[in-house]
Chain A
Amino acid sequence: MQFEWTPEQDAFRHKIRDFLHANLPDDWEKFSEHGPASPALTAFAREFCVKLAEAGILFPHWPVEMGGEGLGPWEQQILAEEMWIAGEPRGGQYMNVNWIGPTLQKYGTQEQKARYLEPITKGQSLWCQGFSEPDAGSDLAALRTRAELRDGNYVINGQKIWTSYAGLADTCFLLTRTSDDRKKGITIILVPMDTPGITVRQIPSLIGEGDIHEVFFDDVTVPETARFGDEGQAWEIVAYSLRNERLGIPRFTLARAALDRAVAMLQGEGRFTREYVRIEAARCAALCEAAATANYSVVQKRVDGLSIGAESSSARYATVMAERAVCEFVIEFLPQALAGASPYLKMHHQRGIVAGVAAGSAEIQLNIIASDVLELPREPR
Chain B
Amino acid sequence: MQLALSEDQTQVLDFIDSLTRPYASLPMHDASLVLESADFDAALVESGFLDVMAVEELGPVTAALVVEKLARLPFAIEAAASAMVRPLIDPALPRPLCLVAEGRIGGPVRFLRPGASVVVVGPSGVRSFTADAGMIAAAQEDTLYAYPVAFLTGLPDGMTSHDVDAAEVLRAWRVAAAAEAAGLLGAALATTVAYVSDRKQFGRPLATFQGMRHRLAEDQVITNSVHWLALRAAGTGDRGDAALALLHAQEAAKRVCYDYHQFLGGMGMTLEHPLHLWTYRLKLLTAELGGRGEQGLAAAEALWG
Contact = CB atoms under 8 A, between A and B. Distances in A.
B216 A374 contact: yes
Nearest to B252: A290
A3 B4 contact: no
Q: Main SS of chain A's interface residues? A: helix
A3 B204 CA distance: 44
A370 B210 CA distance: 9
B56 to A, nearest CB: 14
Contacts of A317: 217-218, 221
B214 A366 contact: yes
Interface residues of B, number: 52
B40 interface: no
A318 B224 contact: yes
B259 to A, nearest CB: 13
A6 interface: yes
B299 interface: yes
B207 interface: yes
Contact of A297 (B208, B228, B235, B236): B228
B217 A290 contact: no
Nearest to B228: A293
A345 interface: no
B205 A377 contact: yes
Contacts, number: 167
Contacts of A296: 1, 3, 228
B299 A282 contact: yes
A321 B221 contact: yes
Contact of A318 (B1, B214, B221): B221
A122 interface: no
B20 interface: no
Interface in A272-294: 272, 275, 278-283, 285-287, 289-291, 293-294
Nearest to B192: A374
B197 A286 contact: no
B45 interface: no
Given A272-B304, A286-B229, A290-B248, A279 B292 contact: yes
B251 to A, nearest CB: 7
A304 B5 CA distance: 11
Interface string B1-28: 1111110010000000000000000000
A74 interface: yes
B267 interface: no
Interface in A58-79: 74
Given A281-B300, A376-B193, A370 B235 contact: no
Nearest to B247: A286
A59 B229 CA distance: 30
A218 B194 CA distance: 51
Given A1-B231, A293-B229, A376-B207, A286 B244 contact: yes
A18 interface: no
A304 B4 contact: yes
Given A294-B225, A366-B214, A1 B3 contact: yes
Counting chain B CB atoms within 10 Å of each CB, the highest count among A272, A289, A369 belongs to A289
Given A285-B299, A376-B216, A300 B4 contact: yes
A374 B217 contact: yes
Interface string B239-272: 0010111011001000000000000000000000
Given A1-B231, A293-B225, A370 B304 contact: no
Given A267-B304, A293-B225, A282 B1 contact: no
A356 B228 CA distance: 22
A3 B193 contact: no
Counting chain A CB atoms within 10 Å of each CB, the highest count among B196, B209, B232 belongs to B232
Interface residues of A, number: 52
A282 B241 CA distance: 11
Contact of A278 (B210, B224, B226, B297): B297
Nearest to A256: B303
Given A369-B220, A374-B217, A293 B193 contact: no
Contacts of B243: 282
B172 interface: no
A311 B244 CA distance: 22
Contacts of A260: 304
B71 interface: no
B279 interface: no
B263 to A, nearest CB: 11
A363 interface: yes
A26 B216 CA distance: 47
A150 B119 CA distance: 81
A367 B304 contact: no
Contact of B235 (A2, A282, A294, A314): A2
Given A300-B3, A318-B225, A275 B293 contact: yes
Nearest to A290: B225
B2 A293 contact: no
Interface in B265-305: 292-293, 295-297, 299-301, 303-304
Contacts of A1: 2-6, 9, 61, 231, 235
B213 interface: yes
Contacts of A374: 189, 193, 216-217, 220
Contacts of A366: 213-214, 217-218
A287 B119 CA distance: 31
B98 interface: no
Nearest to A78: B1
Counting chain A CB atoms within 10 Å of each CB, the highest count among B225, B228, B244 belongs to B225
Given A260-B304, A267-B304, A279-B296, 11 more contacts: A1-B231, A2-B1, A4-B1, A282-B300, A285-B299, A286-B229, A300-B1, A311-B224, A321-B221, A374-B217, A379-B213
8 contacts: A278-B297, A278-B301, A282-B299, A285-B299, A289-B241, A294-B228, A317-B218, A379-B209
Sorted from nearest, which 9 A-B pairs have the closest CB atoms? Answer: A279-B296, A290-B225, A293-B228, A278-B300, A282-B299, A369-B217, A370-B213, A282-B296, A3-B235
